[in-house]
A and B are shown apart, each in its own frame.
Chain A
Amino acid sequence: GQSLEQPSEVTAVEGAIVQINCTYQTSGFYGLSWYQQHDGGAPTFLSYNGLDGLEETGRFSSFLSRSDSYGYLLLQELQMKDSASYFCAVRDQTGFQKLVFGTGTRLLVSP
Chain B
Amino acid sequence: EAGVVQSPRYKIIEKKQPVAFWCNPISGHNTLYWYRQNLGQGPELLIRYENEEAVDDSQLPKDRFSAERLKGVDSTLKIQPAELGDSAVYLCASRELGSTDTQYFGPGTRLTVL
**Chain A residues engaging chain B, CB cutoff 8 angstroms:** 31, 33, 41-45, 48, 50, 87, 89, 91, 94, 96, 98-104
Cβ contact within 8 Å between B107 and A41: yes
With contacts A96-B55, A98-B45 taken as known, whether A91 is within 8 angstroms of B106 at the C-beta atoms is no
B1-26 at interface with A (beta carbon < 8 Å)? 3-4
B78-97 CB contact bits vs A (8 Å, 1 = yes)? 00000000000001010000
CA distance A90 to B90 in the complex (A): 20
With contacts A31-B100, A48-B100, A98-B48 taken as known, whether A103 is within 8 angstroms of B40 at the C-beta atoms is yes
CA distance A44 to B105 in the complex (A): 7
**Chain B residues engaging chain A, CB cutoff 8 angstroms:** 3-4, 33, 40-45, 48, 55-56, 58, 91, 93, 100-108
Please give, as numbers and ranges, the residues of chain A lying within 8 Å of B55 by CB-CB distance: 96
Nearest first, the 8 A-B pairs at minimum CB distance are: A101-B42, A96-B56, A42-B105, A33-B101, A98-B45, A43-B105, A45-B102, A87-B42
Separation in Å of the A102 CB from the closest CB of chain B? 5
Cβ contact within 8 Å between B101 and A99: yes
CA distance A101 to B93 in the complex (A): 14
Please give, as numbers and ranges, the residues of chain B lying within 8 Å of A99 by CB-CB distance: 45, 101, 103
CA distance A108 to B106 in the complex (A): 24
Cβ contact within 8 Å between B42 and A42: no
CA distance A50 to B99 in the complex (A): 12
Cβ contact within 8 Å between A96 and B107: no
Separation in Å of the A18 CB from the closest CB of chain B? 19
User: Can you give 28 contacting A-B residue pairs, CB < 8 Å?
Assistant: A31-B100, A33-B101, A41-B107, A42-B107, A43-B105, A45-B101, A45-B102, A45-B103, A45-B104, A50-B100, A87-B42, A89-B42, A89-B101, A96-B58, A98-B33, A98-B45, A99-B101, A99-B103, A100-B45, A101-B42, A101-B43, A101-B44, A102-B42, A103-B40, A103-B41, A103-B42, A104-B40, A104-B41
